[in-house]
Amino acid sequence: MKKKLVAVDLFCGIGGLTHGLQKEGIQVIAGIDTDSTCKFAYEANNKAKFIEQDVSTITGRDLKKLYPKNSIRVLVGCAPCQTFSQHTLKNKNRVNDKRWKLLYQFLRLVRESKPDVISMENVPQIRNYKVFQDFVSGLEAEKYSVTFKTVNCPRYGIPQNRKRLVLLASKQNKIELIPETNQPLNYITVKDVIGHLPKIQDGEVHNVDKLHRSWRLSPINKERILQSKQGGTWLDWDDSLRLKCHKKKNGSTYRAVYGRMRWSKPASTITTQFYSYGTGRFGHPTQNRALSLREGALLQTFPENYKFFQNEDSISFTEIGRHIGNAVPVRLGEIIAKSIKKSMR
């Protein structure tokens, strides 16, 4: 390739996708997001500028100015996905959520800036909605060749049971995701990723690695986790420790809540509240606590030297948990970059 691949990352967060692209040699010139709290981590770890702005106020002309001349212009982004996820299926008002229409803004920017390559990542459920179908047909009307695939993350070396839809588009040639890199026999496991970390108690902060800190458990949750088994459910507990909702008929389906992970398997999907024992299968496999912030970051494939905070005295579980849980896994960014580079050759 004589021309250089240069990307702009919409909805960039703290830079998971950006970091993955950069690791594979795609220059990211800027990341755009409305969340100012992401600026430090984004710029401290990536050779890119953080632009705090709503994409609906950006024009294609603004984007064009960011790219150097004679570059292959790549536009990537993961619009906030909560509004399309399984957890919001029962919310009839979610179509009124401002985030619902952000994919249309993405399409508008494509029409106005005409990048050479596009990548969009989101939850698989998005393909069932008109907004996604309009996005695809809009790209095709602009003469892009479009492919999309639901990625089973463990099959690409990402150590969590996470499924994501990855769309790739190009005007020059069809871009396909590279073949899967892992099979069940060589999945990356929880132990592979976090097994080397020092032991800590619930509520403790490691004296060297300040991100290796865990949420303090309530007395009853301490009793619950003592009775929890790797990969088990709240059915392993004494009846007195179960919640009222567990005893209802519809409560029987939520068996992963308050669960421990297994050392020998990939983790559960890392969400924005992975540090809280009661919000999913986020119990440490052997230590009596929930995952630490560091463990969540590693399971999202952030490198251990990734900087998440400026001042250790102001670390917020809520804020950093949101940053990590909302991020595109760095490894998935690498897979997207490899796929783009392969097609460009």
Q: For 115-174, what is each residue's pLDDT tens digit?
A: 999 999 999 999 999 999 999 999 999 999 999 999 999 999 999 999 999 999 999 889
More confident position, 137 or 96: 137
Q: How far apart are CA 42 and CA 328, in angstroms?
A: 13
Range of the domain at 236: 190-325
Tell whether 258 and 170 lie within a shared domain.
no
Query: Is residue 94 predicted with pLDDT exceeding 90?
Result: no
pLDDT of res. 253: 57
Tell whether 321 and 335 lie within a shared domain.
no
Tell whether 138 and 230 lie within a shared domain.
no
Tell whether 293 and 208 lie within a shared domain.
yes
Residues annotated as catalytic are: 81
Tell whether 255 and 269 lie within a shared domain.
yes
Domain tally, the chain: 2
Query: Is residue 82 predicted with pLDDT exceeding 70?
Result: no
Query: Is residue 89 predicted with pLDDT exceeding 50?
Result: no
Enumerate the β-bridge partners of residue 16.
none
Mean pLDDT computed over 50-60: 97
pLDDT of res. 80: 81
Mean pLDDT across the chain: 92
Mean pLDDT computed over 309-338: 95
β-strands 145-152, 163-170 pairing: antiparallel
Tell whether 124 and 218 lie within a shared domain.
no
Tell whether 287 and 162 lie within a shared domain.
no
pLDDT of res. 88: 47
More confident position, 283 or 243: 283
Give 84's pLDDT tier (boundaries 50, 70, 90).
very low
**CATH number of domain containing 234:** 3.90.120.10
Residues in contact with 271: Cβ distance below 8 Å, sequence separation at least 6, in sequence order:
279, 280, 325
Please report, for residues 119, 187, 328, the alpha-carbon distance to residue 166 in angstroms, rounded to integers and kept in the order given.
7, 20, 11
Mean pLDDT computed over 165-185: 95
Query: Is residue 113 predicted with pLDDT exceeding 80?
Result: yes
Tell whether 89 and 151 lie within a shared domain.
yes
Mean pLDDT computed over 191-200: 98
Query: Is residue 87 predicted with pLDDT exceeding 50?
Result: no
Other C-beta atoms within 10 Å of 121: how many? 25
pLDDT of res. 309: 95
Tell whether 226 and 158 lie within a shared domain.
no
**CATH number of domain containing 71:** 3.40.50.150
Tell whether 147 and 213 lie within a shared domain.
no
pLDDT of res. 226: 96
Per-residue pLDDT tens digits for 223-275: 999 999 999 988 899 989 988 776 665 555 567 789 999 999 999 999 999 99
Tell whether 17 and 134 lie within a shared domain.
yes
Query: Is residue 97 predicted with pLDDT exceeding 50?
Result: yes
Run of H or E residues at 45: helix 39-45
pLDDT of res. 313: 82
Tell whether 27 and 129 lie within a shared domain.
yes
Q: How far apart are CA 56 and CA 70, in angstroms?
A: 27
DSSP, collapsed to helix, strand or coil, labels residue 30 as strand
Residues in contact with 26: Cβ distance below 8 Å, sequence separation at least 6, in sequence order:
5, 6, 7, 74, 337, 340, 341
Q: Which tokens in the block code for residue 131?
A: 């907004």
